[in-house]
Structures are given as C-alpha cells and as structure tokens.
C-alpha cells in the first residue's frame, strides 16, 4: 500500500510541476509587447515626376528611374537623365584609352565629383548624383538622378576648354609634309572624336541653361573632311608577289579603302610589299596539301622604315593539288579580311602623340 501511495505522490508532483511551468509560460507570453509595424511613408511626389522641395528645377536638372532593385532604379534614373540631352557618343575603345592618356592632365584639373560612365566610355555623365530613393515595400524601387546646373556649367565648360586645347595641339603641324602622313591622318581622326564629345558636352550645357559656354565649336564632320583630304593626298601602293587573280591585293586594298585611302598611284609615300611563297607539302591518305607563307610589310618610302609587319602561314588540302592551292588562296584572303583592318586600326591609334 505504501508503494501505491508513493506512485500516486510521484504522479501528482509531475502533474503539478507541468501545470506550474504552463502557468509561467502563459504569463510570460501575455506580458511580452506586441511589435507594431511603423507606418510606411507616403509615396513622394517626385516618383511620378512631380516637384521636389530640395531639388527644384531652378537649380537642378532631374530624372526619375525605377526598377525591381535599388541599383536598377538608380541606373535607370541616370539613363533617363542622359536622354534629356539627346546625345549618344559611341567611340572606338582605342580612342577612349587614348583620350584618357592624352587628356589626363587637363581632365584632372577639373573636380569631377561622381562620374557615371556610359556607352563606350566616352559619353560621361559627370557631376550627376542620386538625390533620393524610395521603395513601396513590395519590390518597386524609385531613384531621383540630379544634376546641379551651376556645377554642370562649370565642369562641362572646362571640359570643352580642355578639349579645344587638345584639338588645337593635334591639328597643328610644322609643315604640310608633316600633315600629309599617316600620323596626320590619325591625329585628325582623333580630333573628330573629341569634337563629337564636345557636341555632347554642349548639349548638356544647353540643357542646364548655359549654351553660351559652347559657342563656335567645330563639328566632328569638319575634321573628318580634312582627314579625308589627307587620305587622298597619300595613296598607298600595294605590291603582291605570286598573287592569283588579284585576290590578296584586293583583300589588302579593302582594308585601306575602309579608312578612305586610295591605293595605287605613282611614287606613293607608303607601300605595302607582300611576298607569297606557295609550295606543296606532304600527302595524307588521298589528300594532297599546299602551304602558304605570307609576309606583308608597310613601308615608309621616305625613311625606309617598316611601319607595320604582318605575316602568317596556312595549309589547305584536297585530292587535287591545284584545288588545294586554290583553297589556300581563299583561306588567305579570308584571313586578311578578318585581321588586317584591325591591325591597321591599332597601328593608326598608336601614332597619336602621348
């Protein structure tokens, strides 16, 4: 009997302790503060293109962007700001690098602030900032891009001034003979790019209400016309040994004519000397092969210097030797079309003064 009472006492203690714990849990839950969500701010008027007290239209140029992330909204705001200017400068990456190199001193004299690089690195929205951000809590983000009119006037007018000095240096030559060279052609080509940039900067100045700081600018096409005059004054001679049906000569000529150069003429300043060696190679099963070794040197006839060396060797096969050789010429023509224009463009960009 004593054992049975002992069992009952133990069970009652367990039930009692459980009840006590439950009371404490319920008491603690009842006393904890219930979090209350802070009321979300109302959607600002500027998100729909309305007015903004701080960034008023008298002092700022503004544009609204939106997206499903904060970053997307900010980039959209900058893009919308650029569309106000109505400009789109696209430049070769080589010219962008040359501009950073040549114009480094004059550019760094200007306190740029935030710099947003757009396009090919030449159309820079300098001085633009994100002034406001807002999201609706459901995944829609808004951003307000701002451009201070006074600051933009100072920055862009200084950029134009520095670019004008750079253009003047590029287009000043000791003599007509120095101007009518590949180097002169390259300098006018680059001056045209910078003039295009000035046009974009002038558009910004006009948008912020300061068009007077961009008067009397020459257009990029002005310099391209002069560049074309230089190209016409220095035709390129092309001599190809062991060509067939003028295939290789035509491929090289196409690369030069894309830049506006004429080919041929008498006593040209520059000559491209091309030597082709074609020979049969080993057999492989039913096929026979032909190997071509090509060397092309662009030479300045005044100095005798080799300006642009170019060489390759290729092999093509067929069951008939003559067809293997024909395929070798076709392959060589295709390779010249694919490679030589880019090589020539790289070379011309390296002629700019540093």
- Tens digits of per-residue pLDDT, 295-321? 999 999 999 999 999 999 999 888 888
| Token pair belonging to 212 | 């007077």
What phi and psi, each to the nearest 5 degrees, are found at residue 288? Answer: -115, 155
Report pLDDT for 106.
43
pTM listed for this prediction: 0.73
Residues 6+ apart with CB under 8 A from 123: 82, 87, 88, 89, 90, 197, 200
CATH topology of domain 235-350: Double Stranded RNA Binding Domain (3.30.160)
Element (H, E) at 1: none
- pLDDT of 150 higher than 90: yes
As a whole number, mean pLDDT of residues 272-297 equals: 89
Dmax over CA atoms of the chain, in Å, equals 134
- pLDDT of 337 higher than 90: yes
Mean pLDDT taken over the chain: 81
| Token pair belonging to 96 | 């962008």
- pLDDT of 14 higher than 50: no
- pLDDT of 118 higher than 50: no
User: Other CB atoms closer than 10 Å to residue 132's CB: what's the count?
Assistant: 18
Tell me where in the chain the CATH 3.10.28.20 domain(s) lie.
46-155
Residues 6+ apart with CB under 8 A from 246: 240
Report pLDDT for 34.
55
Q: Which one, of 275, 279, 253, 280, lies nearest residue 264 by Cα? A: 253
Q: Which one, of 125, 191, 190, 233, lies nearest residue 350 by Cα? A: 190
How far apart are alpha carbons 223 and 210 in whole angstroms?
Answer: 25
Q: Is 26 exposed, middle or buried (0-12, 13-18, 19+ CB in 10 A)?
A: exposed
CATH dotted code for 46-155 = 3.10.28.20
User: Other CB atoms closer than 10 Å to residue 58's CB: what's the count?
Assistant: 6
CA quadruple 259, 263, 265, 270: dihedral, nearest 10: 70
- pLDDT of 145 higher than 70: yes
As a whole number, mean pLDDT of residues 284-291 equals: 83
Report pLDDT for 342.
94
Tell me where in the chain the CATH 3.30.160.150 domain(s) lie.
235-350
Residues 6+ apart with CB under 8 A from 153: 205, 208, 209, 210, 213
Listing DSSP states for 168-234 in one string gives HHHT--SSHHHHSSHHHHHHHHHHHHHHHHHHHHHHHHHHTT-GGGGTTPPPHHHHHHHHHHHHHHS
Residues 6+ apart with CB under 8 A from 191: 167, 170, 171, 223
């Amino acid at each position: 009997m004593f054992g049975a009472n002992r069992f009952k006492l133990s069970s009652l203690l367990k039930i009692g302790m459980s009840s006590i714990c439950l009371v404490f849990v319920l008491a603690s839950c009842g006393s904890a503060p219930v979090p209350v969500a802070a009321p979300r701010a109302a959607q600002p008027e500027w998100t729909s293109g309305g007015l903004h007290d701080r960034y008023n239209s008298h002092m700022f140029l503004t544009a609204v962007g939106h997206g499903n992330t904060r970053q997307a909204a900010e980039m959209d705001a900058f893009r919308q700001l650029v569309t106000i200017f109505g400009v789109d400068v696209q430049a070769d990456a080589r010219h962008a690098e040359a501009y950073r190199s040549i114009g480094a001193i004059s550019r760094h004299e200007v306190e740029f602030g935030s710099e947003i690089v757009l396009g090919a690195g030449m159309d820079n929205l300098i001085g633009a900032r994100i002034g406001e951000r807002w999201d609706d809590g459901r995944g829609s983000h808004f951003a307000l891009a701002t451009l201070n009119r006074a600051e933009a006037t100072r920055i862009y007018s200084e950029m134009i001034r520095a670019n004008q000095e750079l253009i003047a240096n590029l287009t000043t030559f000791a003599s007509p003979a120095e101007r009518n060279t590949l180097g002169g052609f390259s300098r006018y080509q680059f001056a045209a790019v910078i003039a295009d940039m000035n046009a974009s900067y002038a558009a910004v100045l006009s948008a912020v209400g300061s068009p007077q700081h961009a008067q009397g600018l020459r257009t990029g096409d002005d310099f391209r016309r002069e560049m074309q005059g230089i190209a016409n004054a220095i035709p390129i001679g092309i001599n190809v040994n062991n060509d067939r049906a003028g295939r290789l000569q035509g491929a090289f000529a196409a690369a030069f004519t894309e830049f506006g150069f004429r080919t041929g003429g008498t006593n040209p300043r520059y000559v491209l000397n091309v030597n082709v060696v074609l020979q049969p190679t080993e057999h492989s099963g039913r096929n026979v092969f032909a190997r071509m070794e090509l060397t092309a040197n662009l030479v300045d006839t005044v100095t005798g210097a080799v300006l642009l060396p170019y060489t390759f060797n290729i092999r093509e096969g067929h069951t008939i030797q003559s067809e293997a050789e024909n395929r070798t010429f076709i392959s060589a023509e295709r390779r010249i079309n694919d490679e030589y224009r880019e090589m020539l463009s790289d070379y011309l960009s390296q002629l700019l003064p540093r």
